Chain A
Amino acid sequence: MMWNQMTLLFNDYTFQIVALGTGFLGFLSGVIGTYATLKKESLLGDALSHSALPGIGIGFLIIQSKELVGLLIGATISGLVATAIIQLMSKKSSVKFDSALSLVLSSFFGLGLVIMTHIQGRPNAQQAGLDSFIFGQASAMLVRDVRLIAIIGMIILLIVIVFWKEFKLFSFDPDFGRTLGFSGKFIEFIMSTVIVLTIILGLESVGVILVSALLIGPSVAARQWSNKLGIVLPLAGAIGFISGILGTIISSVGNRIPTGPSIVVVLSIFVIGSLFFSPERGIIAKRSTYKKQRKYFRKQIELLEEEHEK
């Protein structure tokens, strides 16, 4: 029965498209997210996804249709502008990075809402369907969406391979990178662009709020199993990929379960599992060494006290 349902599902064309799309997105954000978390800029992704909204709105106003490429260009530009403002505020004044992030996030999102509500008052509002960017509509993914994700994804992966060494250096220790003579600004611009592009691609399927989880989750989970970037990166990609597909399956089989949140829940299970069960750093492993050490420790102190009593 279950098996039949599964084969039916896997033969379903719509499911194939959606699963392919979310799986690939998961893979991509797993890989790129690893750099963002290494740079300790995990939450920048959250701010960026919110900041993309006005770009999408303005893009729609200019091209007057829901042509994905146009909207994505708008989103990328507004995401980059937001990043620039956050960096400017936190580096050129006593404003803390975290405060700049929150301010830009909500102001840009507010601007997005203002533009969206403005659009909704227009005759072609229905055509816009821009709500999908806020909550994500993976189930409505079309072949051309998946094709676009695949093409841009390939380009991003190519960039990662070409700049492998530089990215590694700059995500660990940008100051050291600069001393070696790499152009810091250029590499950081490429990295930001790649991160922004990945987020924008994720917007349509999981939406503004949850896309940052897709970026952070896989790398945090993968990080628990290895210290080597060469292993963490593909592992994060794999975890993202599996979460994407599993989340899509659950949402297709289950009754009224939205895809984006379903992917995030699956991903979170991977994260929590890794945090607890990873053999060396994991919470359980640590707890048992802690107990052993404390036992040893107590004994030493008892011996010491006995000695004093003598």
Chain B
Amino acid sequence: MEEQKAIKIHQLTVAYDAKPVLWNASVTFKKGKLTAIVGPNGAGKSTLLKTILDFIKPVTGQIEYFVGKQSSEYKEIKNHIAYVPQNSTVDWDFPATVLDVVLMGRYGHLGWFKRPRKKDKDIAKEMLAKVGMTTFFNRQISQLSGGQRQRVFLARALAQEADIYILDEPLAGVDMKTERIIMDLLKELTKENKTVIVVHHDLQTVEAYFDEVVFINQEVLNNGPVSSTFTKGNIDETYRQDRNLGEEEGE
């Protein structure tokens, strides 16, 4: 059986202030797979995610999203994509409870003006149970540990009931228990034929956790199944110090 596509990226070039961050990147994320994006700091991993999420407009190139049979634009399928930002980017002193945050996962489906209803609350509670945080639902978010915060974020993404899940370093700074819960849940999602894309920083665990791997350092260097692609040669190529595209050519 031919593998189905979830997101197809074609010759994507992204630049900040005319400095290329991603250069001519082409890669296809497969449906129902758990894919890791790896690469050194500043390689353009987060930029790739942000372009997929339509925060940044690329200079050239196309991104196609496959939720049904046909390819679509981002706007049409935004409710089918769940995004988990790095948890350090939000203010955890914000006056909200755990349930409040998870409920935000329903906002996309509600659209403007509409308030969450009982059905949304039930979904939120169900997802909290999945991440093992049911008893915390009324807890103020500032009182959570790093791992618990990440699990709340995952529960919020689950509440989006999406087809594609995009996570930016979800395992950074979390405890072992949380890491296991998160990875089990992500595996489970792929069993339901959902697509999971994770920016991952820990090379040690790539083989244990992921199906597919994408090596990025300003361009997509290699990608494919972990078993055949996650080789020492490819790792060395990605993390080589002297890789530097575009910059010196610019002048």
Which A residues form the contact surface with B (CB < 8 A)?
A: 94, 286, 289-290, 293-294, 296-297, 300-301, 304-305, 308
Selected from A289, A290, A296, A304, the residue in CB contact (under 8 A) with B24 is A304
User: Residues of A contacting B246 with CB < 8 Å?
Assistant: 297
User: Residues of A contacting B18 with CB < 8 Å?
Assistant: 289-290, 293-294, 297
Say whether, besides A290-B17, A304-B24, A296 and B250 are in contact (CB < 8 Å).
Answer: yes
For residue A296, give the distance in angstroms from its CB to the closest CB of chain B. 6
Closest residue of chain B to A290, judged by CB?
B18
Closest residue of chain A to B92, judged by CB?
A94
User: Residues of B contacting A286 with CB < 8 Å?
Assistant: 17
* Chain B contacts with A in 5-29, Cβ cutoff 8 A: 11, 13, 15, 17-20, 24
Selected from A94, A293, A301, the residue in CB contact (under 8 A) with B13 is A301
User: Residues of A contacting B13 with CB < 8 Å?
Assistant: 301
- Across the interface, do A94 and B142 meet the contact criterion of CB distance under 8 Å? yes
User: Residues of B contacting A297 with CB < 8 Å?
Assistant: 15, 18, 20, 59, 246, 250
User: Residues of B contacting A293 with CB < 8 Å?
Assistant: 18-19, 250
Does B227 touch A at the CB level, under 8 Å?
no
User: Residues of A contacting B142 with CB < 8 Å?
Assistant: 94
Selected from B11, B17, B19, B93, the residue in CB contact (under 8 A) with A308 is B11
Does B138 touch A at the CB level, under 8 Å?
no
User: Residues of A contacting B250 with CB < 8 Å?
Assistant: 293, 296-297
In Å, the complex CA distance between A94 and B249 comes to: 46
Closest residue of chain B to A296, judged by CB?
B250
Which B residues form the contact surface with A (CB < 8 A)?
A: 11, 13, 15, 17-20, 24, 59-60, 93, 142, 246, 249-250
In Å, the complex CA distance between A290 and B59 comes to: 14
Interface pairs A-B: 3 shortest CB-CB: A293-B18, A94-B93, A294-B18
Apart from A286-B17, A296-B250, A297-B246, 7 more pairs, CB < 8 Å: A94-B93, A94-B142, A289-B18, A290-B18, A296-B249, A304-B24, A305-B11
Provide 6 A-B residue pairs closer than 8 Å at the C-beta atoms, listed in order of the A residue. Answer: A94-B93, A297-B15, A297-B246, A297-B250, A301-B60, A305-B11
In Å, the complex CA distance between A179 and B243 comes to: 35
User: Residues of B contacting A300 with CB < 8 Å?
Assistant: 249
For residue A303, give the distance in angstroms from its CB to the closest CB of chain B. 11
User: Residues of A contacting B249 with CB < 8 Å?
Assistant: 296, 300
For residue A9, give the distance in angstroms from its CB to the closest CB of chain B. 47
For residue A306, give the distance in angstroms from its CB to the closest CB of chain B. 12
In Å, the complex CA distance between A130 and B157 comes to: 59
In Å, the complex CA distance between A272 and B39 comes to: 41
For residue B244, give the distance in angstroms from its CB to the closest CB of chain A. 15
In Å, the complex CA distance between A304 and B11 comes to: 10
Closest residue of chain B to A308, judged by CB?
B11
In Å, the complex CA distance between A305 and B11 comes to: 9
In Å, the complex CA distance between A289 and B13 comes to: 19
For residue A153, give the distance in angstroms from its CB to the closest CB of chain B. 42
In Å, the complex CA distance between A289 and B17 comes to: 10
In Å, the complex CA distance between A308 and B61 comes to: 13
In Å, the complex CA distance between A308 and B60 comes to: 14
Closest residue of chain B to A301, judged by CB?
B60
User: Residues of B contacting A304 with CB < 8 Å?
Assistant: 11, 24
For residue A107, give the distance in angstroms from its CB to the closest CB of chain B. 22
In Å, the complex CA distance between A191 and B124 comes to: 51
In Å, the complex CA distance between A9 and B59 comes to: 59
Interface centre among B11, B20, B250 (most CB of A within 10 A): B250
In Å, the complex CA distance between A293 and B11 comes to: 19
- Across the interface, do A301 and B19 meet the contact criterion of CB distance under 8 Å? no
In Å, the complex CA distance between A294 and B246 comes to: 12
